[in-house]
Structure formats: structure tokens, C-alpha cells
Chains A and B, each alone.
Chain A
Amino acid sequence: MRIALLADIHANREALAACLAHAARQGARRLVFLGDLVGYGADPCWVVETVRARVAGGEAVALLGNHDEAAVSPRGPVGMNPAAAAAIAWTRGRLDAEAAAFLASLPLVVEEEDRLYVHADASAPARWRYVAGTEAARRSLAATAARITLCGHVHVPGLYGLTATDKLVAHRPAAGVAVPLLRPRRWLAVLGAVGQPRDGDPSACYGLLDTGRSELAWMRVPYDVATAAAKIRAAGLPESLAARLERGR
């Protein structure tokens, strides 16, 4: 079975629509939304409704991200930079009760067969630490028993493999190349961002996991960046959030 893994959509309708269409053409039968549906972008309602409908239809599972939590928690944005906090404040004013309830209901961790889905570091999912290096990857892998951990949050693709003898390899995945996740190694895959890539490539990134072959590919999908950026500007959100979509950084 092919599973599409979509992390860090960040209210980017154009990017999500392009990835969903691409994943459908690739034969993805199941969708996993790895958190941060909202924040930064100008289309939180459409994105939440689209994800909610897919989850309700039984074809998808969705996880909680730190921006989703900030958008619905009474505490609001905690420890966020001013642009992110401004976008959260703007988002809170737009989500209806149903969307807010859906976000509030999202789990921090989901386990499915030999896979574990989480937005950030699996060793403390609610602390929202980045898995951006071998030490962080080791910490996250040590905390779970799943053969494959899939997360987002970093907005830059990464892959870490751990042997039974505790040796860790790190790999920078190339676009569109299926990487075999060999047994008996355990793997931690960091997906790139659908809605706000930060690795220098502005195209949307999502993961395509073939469970039968145990292969994961980081797909890159070009989308209408100009429209997504224009909506951010029209909404009066910080200019930096529009500009970084265009740069992919």
C-alpha cells in the first residue's frame, strides 16, 4: 500500500491541493497529516475542512502540531517568534467552532502497524523539539519501538537509520528517489514541508511510503506559490511569511 505523508501544510491551500492531486496520481490509498495544518498561511479554514473531511471519510489520520495547538489552546502562542505569533492570532479569529474542535481533538502520536506518526520529537511529543541532527534523531528513536518513525516540524527533509548495535547513519534524501528502509534497522524520517519549505526548494514536499517494498520517497511538487504568497499579503499577515514561500527558506 502507498501512504502519502503530509507535514507542515500551514494553511497553504495551493500547496496542499497540488500534493493531494499528485499523491492520488501516484496511487496513494491512505493519507497521514503529520501536524501543523494551520499557522503562517492564509487558508486555515479550507485546509482544516479538507483534512477533516478526509479523516471523517476514513482514508486519513491527522496529528497535532504546535501551530494547531497554539491556534486552539487557551494559552495561545507560547515561545513563538513574532511573525508566527501574529499569524496564530489572525488564524484564531478565522477558525469556526467546528474547525477549532477538530484541531483540539488531534492526537500527539499515532501508531499503525510498524509505524509511528508524530509531529516532532517522539521522546516528548508535546515539547515540540526539532529532530534536526543525529543526537535529536537518536533521542527520538530511543524513545519508541516502532520500526519507522515519521515526523515533520523541521521543514527540511532528513533520514536517520539506527542499527541494533546502536550505529546511526544520517542521509539527506534526494527529491523523488525511493530509499529502501531496510530491516532490521529502525528508521526516523523527517518529511519536508507541504506548505512552507525551508530547504531552498520552494516546491511543496510530501512523503510517499510504499509499505510492501518498505521504500520512502520525498516527492517535490511545484505549485502556485505566487497565489499563496499574494493571499498572505492580502490578509495583512507579515510580509516575511509571503517572501519565504517564494524563496523556499
Chain B
Amino acid sequence: MPGRPRVVAGATIDGFTIGAQIHAGGMATLWEATHPDHPGRPLLMKVPRLREGEDPAAIVGFEMEQMILPRLSGPHVPRFVAAAGFERQPYLVMERILGTSLAARLPSLPLAAEEVAAIGARVAEALDSLHRQAVVHLDVKPSNILFRRGTGEAVLVDFGLARHRLLPDLLEEEFRLPYGSAPYMAPEQAMGVRGEPRSDLFALGAVLYQLKTGMLPFGEPQGLKAVRRRIWRDPLPPRALRPTCPPWLQEIILRCLEVDPARRHPTAAQLAFDLRHPDQVALSPRAEKRGRDGWTAVLRRRFDPKARPVFRRPAEEADAVHAPIVAVAVDVAEQSAAMAQVLRAGLGPIMASLPGARVACINVLDLRRAAPEEGENRHVQRLVALRHWAAPLGLPEGRITYHVLEAADPAQALIEYATANRVDHIVMGARADSLRRRLLGSVSAGVAAHAPCTVTVVRPRGVNAGGAEPGRA
């Protein structure tokens, strides 16, 4: 076997010139690097610690990252550049993220609710991108969250504990102990379940709790037994520590910190949606909680076998998004009763078959032709009309939200909304054949052509076959 090249500043390995050491952690060291094939691009070389007696998790974590990182794409992960295995000097080279780590904010805690929500939404969007690529991070904590300079997009780093649903889990059989960061680890992870995407939502909830209160929700437990305490002992509600914490933020944080993953947000996209729309968060008793649960409840959770949560491994086939965000564009000002009915009929089966799905009812106030007589109240009037349209759907608060967008280009506004809110499916009506459609073009055709997701265009039968609706200009 050839000699192992030494990783030191100034050395060159496989064309990568090594620069300054950036960080020396327990599992790996990080180095600046450059390569003539990547001019002007700052790179990062990660080198696992391999000395005798080092934690074997360092090696397996490196293998996991070597396996997972090349399979990830998008702005929310560092771009993979190169890797070398254990035959010689193992390393992983990736894009060096220029920007700051969330850990840099820890000295300035607590943060304002609005900033906590904005940070949380960006991290949740990054997690959504990751989960859609079949990967669960399982080590979400401030030091593993970076924000890109310029765009501010969140980037998740360190996939050494991550799980790819379609690849072998090298960690699961290797270690008896569940690995993760104790303050943020989800209870099911502490019980050895790897691969539950909502474990990342729990960890993010713990981060948001910390950002808002300056405290860790479960302290810094040492050892697994102490970590598992969170299965039966609930944290002090954020508002008990920071009375200025608004109810909607406490609702979101405590929902993330639910022991049973099924009681958390179904997806990271839905969590991001709530964080982006505080006024639309459905408040439960969680929002008003002022103290921890009483000892009787805690003792029951701890000692009553019937109250003990059962953590299941998520089904291998959990491929599709079972909790989609559906946006329905409702033209409350113009649409016929027939169209209103057809739109509801298009939405009903989706909401009935997918209990985790939520719908965002959207009306676009077309600034090019908004009737001036609607005046100041038009926004409110449109919201009232949206609620009226949606009432027959019979959806509970929490599964439905209402939004009025003001835009000069309705198609563009819908596409931007769908992109920003990680919408999975847009349902909208086709405009009846009319002079206006001929002059302005079809909004639905524009959305269908350029939307980032599935688009269903509904139309009452016969509208285009000469049966033009009355009252159309």
C-alpha cells in the first residue's frame, strides 16, 4: 500500500492544494483547499480522524457523508467536489460555504420572535429540500446550520449522522448508542429510530426554543438515560421564560417538541409555512401553556405502560409526499357558481385521502383591473369571500389558510407563491373563453407551464363549447 500523504498546510493531495486549517473537531479536521479545475471557488477539505483509539464513529460518519453528500443537490447543502476513501488518505472536498453559522448568534440570545421565525423558516425550507431527497439529517443544531452570504439561504452541513432512506445505514448496526447531539435529539432518535424525517423538526424546535429563550429546552443532559427523560418530562413553555414570546411562536415550537412524531408538523414544508404566516397559525392549548405538566401527568407518562409512546420506523416506501401543501386559486370576484363548485370538487378528494394535507386558499387581486370602488376594504372583503367559498369543504382550522396576493401579473404571483411556500399542488380554474382571455392570455396556462409543482386546471363541463357564462365581459 502506498504511503499515506500527510495533510498539512501547503501540501498537495490529488491536485488539491491545502490551505489553512479552519477547524479541528472531535471527528474530523477542516482545511481550506484550492484546485486548478475549480478556479476562484473556495473549497473545504474534510479529513476524518483515524488515529488509534479514536472514536469509530468518526470513520463510519465519514463513510456516511462520503455516500450521501454526492447524492444531494440544491442550494441547501454544500456542493460535493471530490472524495477519497481509506485506501490512502481519506478526505472529502466540498464547496466552502461563505457565510455565518447560526452558532454565531448564540451570544446575542434571546432573539425577537420575528427573527426566530425568519431563521426557522429558512432552516425548515432547507430540511424540506433534504427530506425530499430521501435524507434525514439527524444532527440539526446551530453549528450545523450556515447561512449563505448574499441569498441568506440556510445550508445544512455535516452528514455524518444522516440517514439516506435508499442506501445502507452504516450506523444503525454499527453502534448500540444512538448518536446525535443530546440537547437537540428527538426522543425517537434516543430510542434508536433512525430515518424519521420529523426527528429533524424536533431538533429544529429545540433550536428555535433556544433562540427565543436563550435556554435549552432539556438542558445539556449527559448520557442516554438523561436524554430519554424528554420522553416523559415536558420542557418549560417558552412564554414562561419569555413572556414576550407570542402565542403563535410558542404553538409552533411546542408542536415541534411533541414526543410523538405524529403530533408534530407532518413535513418541514408545513412547518416553514407556519413560520412564514404567523397570523394563520391555528392555536391550540399549547399556545397558552404557562407551566410544565403536573406530576400526575408526568408520572403516568413515565410509569403507565399504556401511556408510553411507541416509536416506529417509518415505512421504507414513504416516498411520496403524504402531507402536501395544496394551493387553490379562487377568483372570488369573477367566478361563477359552477366554477366555485368544480374547484371544491377538485380539492375535496385530495384533502379527504391525505389527512396530513393542508390547503392555502389564494385570491390574486389583479392590480391592473382592481375595481376602485372596492377601496381600502378590498383585502378584507376578499378574505371574507375566500372563507365563504371554502366553508362547504368543512376543513378544520389548521388545515386551511387564506391569502390575498396583490400583483399585476396573477400567473407570476401564483408561481412565486408556490415556489416560496414549497407548494406541492396548485388547483385552479380555467378562465372561460372570453374577450379578456384572448387579450390577456390564460392565467392557468401560464401557471401550468411554469409552476414548480403539479397543476390541476379545472373547468365546468361545456364552458368552452359555446356555453359561455352569462355576465362575462
Contact = CB atoms under 8 A, between A and B. Distances in A.
A170 to B, nearest CB: 7
B66 interface: yes
Interface in B146-191: 166-170, 172-174
A170 B173 contact: yes
Interface stretch (A14-22, A50-58, A175-183): A175-183
Contact of B173 (A159, A169, A177, A183): A169
Contacts of A159: 168
Given A167-B174, A168-B173, A170-B173, A179 B168 contact: yes
B166 to A, nearest CB: 4
A161 B170 contact: yes
Contacts of A180: 66-67, 167
Given A177-B166, A182-B63, A169 B174 contact: yes
B75 interface: no
A183 B83 CA distance: 12
A47 to B, nearest CB: 32
Interface in A151-177: 159, 161, 163, 165, 167-172, 174, 177
A174 B316 CA distance: 9
Nearest to B165: A174
Contact of A165 (B56, B166, B167, B169): B56
Main secondary structure of the interface of A (DSSP, over half): loop
A212 interface: no
A93 interface: no
Contacts of A79: none
A74 interface: no
B87 interface: yes
Contacts of A82: none
A10 B101 CA distance: 58
Interface string B54-95: 001000000100110000000000000000011100000000
A184 interface: yes
Contacts of B87: 183-184
A169 B169 contact: yes
A171 B168 contact: yes
The residue among B56, B166, B169 with the most chain A CB atoms within 10 A of its own CB is B166
Contact of A177 (B63, B167, B174): B167
Contacts of B66: 180, 182
Contact of A169 (B86, B168, B316): B168
Contacts of A174: 166, 316
A183 to B, nearest CB: 5
A170 B32 CA distance: 36
B166 A169 contact: no
A184 B85 CA distance: 8
The residue among A165, A170, A182 with the most chain B CB atoms within 10 A of its own CB is A182
B85 A182 contact: yes
B63 A171 contact: no
Contacts of A161: 168, 170
Interface in A71-123: none
Contacts of B173: 167-170
Contact of A182 (B56, B67, B316): B67
A204 B86 CA distance: 35
Contacts of B168: 159, 161, 169-171, 179
Interface in B286-320: 316
Interface string B197-210: 00000000000000
A183 B85 contact: yes
A158 B381 CA distance: 60
A168 B316 CA distance: 20
Interface in A127-156: none
The residue among A165, A167, A180, A183 with the most chain B CB atoms within 10 A of its own CB is A180
Interface of A: 159, 161, 163, 165, 167-172, 174, 177, 179-180, 182-185
Interface of B: 56, 63, 66-67, 85-87, 166-170, 172-174, 316
16 contacts: A159-B168, A165-B56, A167-B174, A169-B168, A169-B169, A169-B170, A169-B173, A170-B173, A171-B168, A174-B316, A177-B166, A179-B166, A180-B66, A182-B66, A182-B85, A184-B87
Pairs A-B, 5 closest by C-beta atoms: A171-B168, A177-B166, A174-B166, A183-B85, A169-B173
